[in-house]
Amino acid sequence: MKRFMAMTVLGVSLAMSAVAAENPHDPDVRYKAQQAAMAKLSALDGEWRGTAWSIAPTGVKSEVIQTERIGPFLNDSVKLIEGRAYGANGEVKFNALALISFDPATGKYGYRAHAQSYGGDFEFEPTADGFKWKVPMGTFGTTEYTAVVKDGTWHEVGYLVTADGKRTQVLEMNLKRIGDSKWPLGTPVGPK
């Protein structure tokens, strides 16, 4: 009887271990999947600076010094991004905060961004050499962004795509990686 009990306990323990290893609700299983997904975006990590221009819905074009600082957070399961745009006098003209995440249950990335009193969850997809993301713009259409990040450079363009398919470029960024990031700690990247 003791032998039967011992074998039963051992069998139940092994079965529970196998279930735990495959359990999508186990934090360790989720972390591993999230970390693998974030590793695909490791080229983004660091501090970046360069030039950018954008056209507002009002039609006004702005040229700025754009900076980004990006780093892993929460056990390397997400990426935090802070973007700042500086005017010619060094004044902050634009400031944004975003979080890239990955949901192992759906196999999809998430992109939550906040800027200029707005915020939302947006489509995000890594590509072979960067990423792309979309922002619905209500009656204006959708703004589609595509970034190529390689060899220490980050080139991103944004196009407003109207319901009839017309594409108008509304953003271009050309950044160079200037170093490692202490994000989310440390001080912001300055304009110079």
Q: Kindly report, residue by residue over 130-144, the tens digit of the pLDDT.
A: 999 999 988 889 999
Whole-angstrom distance, CA of residue 157 vs CA of residue 148: 9
Q: Which residues contact 7 (CB under 8 A, 6 or more apart)?
A: none
Burial class (CB in 10 A: 0-12, 13-18, 19+), 10: exposed
What pLDDT does 22 receive? 61
Going residue by residue through the chain (192 aa), what tens digit of pLDDT does each one get?
A: 555 444 444 443 433 334 344 676 888 999 999 999 999 999 999 999 999 999 988 899 999 999 999 999 888 999 999 999 999 999 999 999 999 999 999 999 999 999 989 999 999 999 999 999 999 988 889 999 999 999 999 999 999 999 999 999 999 999 999 999 877 766 667 888
pLDDT value, residue 12: 36
The confidence score (pLDDT) of residue 3 equals 54
How many other C-beta atoms can be found within 10 angstroms of the C-beta atom of residue 88? 10
pLDDT score for 17 = 39
- Classify domain 49-179 at the CATH topology level: Lipocalin (2.40.128)
- Is the distance from CB of 52 to CB of 64 less than 8 angstroms? yes
Residue 12: strand, helix, or coil: helix
DSSP 189: P
